[in-house]
Amino acid sequence: MPKKVPFLFAPLLVVLVSAVAAVAAVAAAAAATMRLDYYHTGTATQEIFSVDRVVIEPAPWPGNPQKTVDETNLGKYLFEVRDRATNRLLYSRGFASIFGEWETTEEAKNASRTFSESLRFPEPQGPAQIVLKKRDSNNAFREIWTTVAGIPQPKSTC
């Protein structure tokens, strides 16, 4: 009976090695994570945006590659990543920002502040248009800023 034990584990070992190889292949094929760091400046009635930097993060994109377009309709803001050549929507996400909360305070009626914010998304294959939208008084998203990304600066250690 002891001689049969290795034969029982052989199929299990083959399955385990195959699973590890499959996970490694998926990880190797996963898109990199691009991050657009920007400054969000303004008051209760005005918003100004400026790019700080665009980097490729050292880890692959952690999100689901099958769910790139956000259909939840959540958040005060929404950003879209669009292919510059075709205008095809590559990625979108709704979100809330610290500026979006601050602009509702008493301080925002009398002072201007700047907040550092970031957008993370799967690295596009080429130049992409990043479109930032905000809800209007009718709760519809309206474009408030756009910039180009896709040719990142040298890799950052974040």
Distance (Å, rounded) from C-alpha 139 to C-alpha 136? 5
45 and 7 within one domain: no
66 and 11 within one domain: no
Whole-number pLDDT of residue 150: 77
Does a structural domain hold residue 93? yes
**pTM of the shown model:** 0.77
3-class DSSP state for residue 70? coil
pLDDT in tens, 76-92: 999 999 999 999 999 99
Residues linked to residue 114 through DSSP beta bridges, in sequence order: 41
Q: Quick one: DSSP state of residue 75?
A: S
Does a structural domain hold residue 158? no
Does a structural domain hold residue 154? no
Q: Specify the CATH number for the domain of residue 72.
A: 2.60.40.3250
97, 104 in Cβ contact below 8 A?
Answer: no
pLDDT in tens, 92-138: 999 999 999 999 999 999 999 999 999 999 999 999 999 999 999 99
pLDDT in tens, 10-55: 554 454 445 444 444 444 457 999 999 999 999 999 999 999 999 9
> What is the domain extent for residue 17?
1-30
End-to-end CA distance of the chain: 56
131 and 76 within one domain: yes
43, 103 in Cβ contact below 8 A?
Answer: yes
Quickly count: other Cβ atoms within 10 Å of residue 40's Cβ: 22
